[in-house]
Amino acid sequence: MWAQRMMWIAWPAFLVAGMLEMLVFAMVDPQDLHWFGQPLEMSRQGIYTLGFFAFWIMTMASSALTTLLSMSPFEVNRCPLPADGRPDGCPKQGDCC
């Protein structure tokens, strides 16, 4: 279940990060970028790589938030233990809730 959710998050984020990479660097030359007024002392390929991973992390955060907010109340409140393995006094004793 969690592996499937991770793919729901990572794969679309990967695709969007790739598209953002193409769009941004089609208009911006990596050698023209400055950080705190100083030019970046990295190769173009290094800047492309850092840009891609920055875009991927941001889009993964967005996809993760969407996945989290799409969870049903049943999924959020479900007890992970089987009914016979729950401790006495567990508020989730019933199988239905």
State which amino acid sits at residue 25.
F
d(CA 32, CA 30): 5
Does residue 84 belong to any structural domain of this protein?
A: no
| The pLDDT of residue 16 is above 90 | yes
Query: DSSP secondary-structure letter at 37?
Result: T
Does residue 78 belong to any structural domain of this protein?
A: no
Does residue 79 belong to any structural domain of this protein?
A: no
Does residue 89 belong to any structural domain of this protein?
A: no
d(CA 29, CA 96): 58
| The pLDDT of residue 28 is above 50 | yes
Question: Do 71 and 78 meet the contact criterion of CB atoms below 8 Å apart?
Answer: no
Task: Convert the pLDDT of each residue in 45-56 to its tens digit.
Answer: 999 999 999 999
Mean pLDDT, residues 8-32 taken together: 93
Task: Convert the pLDDT of each residue in 65-75 to its tens digit.
Answer: 998 888 888 77
Does residue 60 belong to any structural domain of this protein?
A: yes
- How many domains does the chain fold into? 1
Does residue 96 belong to any structural domain of this protein?
A: no
Query: DSSP secondary-structure letter at 87?
Result: P
Token duo for residue 83: 């009914």
In angstroms, what CA-CA distances link 14 with 8, 52, 75, 90, 96?
Answer: 11, 9, 26, 41, 38
